[in-house]
Amino acid sequence: MIRIGKIVATHGVTGSVIMTHITGDRKWLKKGQALMIEMQKGSLIPYFVLQCRATSDEEYIVDLEDVTTPQQAKKLVTKQVYTDEKVLAGMIDHSPLMWIGFAISDAHYGNIGPLDDVLQTGTQWIGKLHYKGNEVLIPLVDATLAGIDIKHKILKTNLPEGLLEVYE
């Protein structure tokens, strides 16, 4: 499963929700697909899409099966949304948010651990991981990315020498 977005609001009187997503493509979500919503930490509940309408490349209005009132929809607001990575085949190498959980293999440091999260600062992406017991931030830019192995979920990097020594 890949985290792809978040429910940010309710919409209308029929239980529709507004979901932001990170795919950058308004055509990936289809009727009948399952969205996994994290109701509690580590607990993903499937909701099937009855209808969806893209309002932008980053937002959908979605009607979900068994969510028919604004009160039911309100319980989903602020919840993270996941989907099967097969649904996003072909898009995974374009969005750093889809790299969460990938192992990071660096040309200089070797295997430094899994990518825990990503943050966007303006136009630059920053990866967050734990290295030698410390939270580490690394740049996810063309200059540091050497490649992406989607099949094995490996992010290949070429970090500047000395970057990780700051955290030791």
* Backbone dihedral angles phi then psi of residue 141, each to the nearest 5 degrees: -125, 165
CA distance 63 to 52: 6
Per-residue pLDDT, averaged over 62-70, amounts to 95
pLDDT exceeds 70 at position 92: no
pLDDT exceeds 80 at position 93: no
Top-level CATH class of 96-167?
mainly beta
DSSP 3-state assignment of 16? strand
CA distance 105 to 9: 38
Per-residue pLDDT, averaged over 16-32, amounts to 85
- Which two three-digit tokens encode residue 118? 């990503």
Q: What is the pLDDT confidence band of residue 57, given thresholds at 50, 70 and 90?
A: confident
Q: Residue 155 is which amino acid?
A: L
- The domain locations on the chain are 2-88, 96-167
Residues in the chain: 168
Do domains 2-88 and 96-167 share one topology? The answer is no
Q: What is the CATH number of domain 2-88?
A: 2.40.30.60
Closest by CA to 19, choosing from 70, 100, 73, 86, is 73
Which whole-number Å values give the CA distances from 69 to 37, 38, 50, 81, 139, in the listed order?
Answer: 17, 19, 14, 19, 43
- Token pair 């209005």 is found at 61
Q: What is the pLDDT confidence band of residue 45, given thresholds at 50, 70 and 90?
A: very high
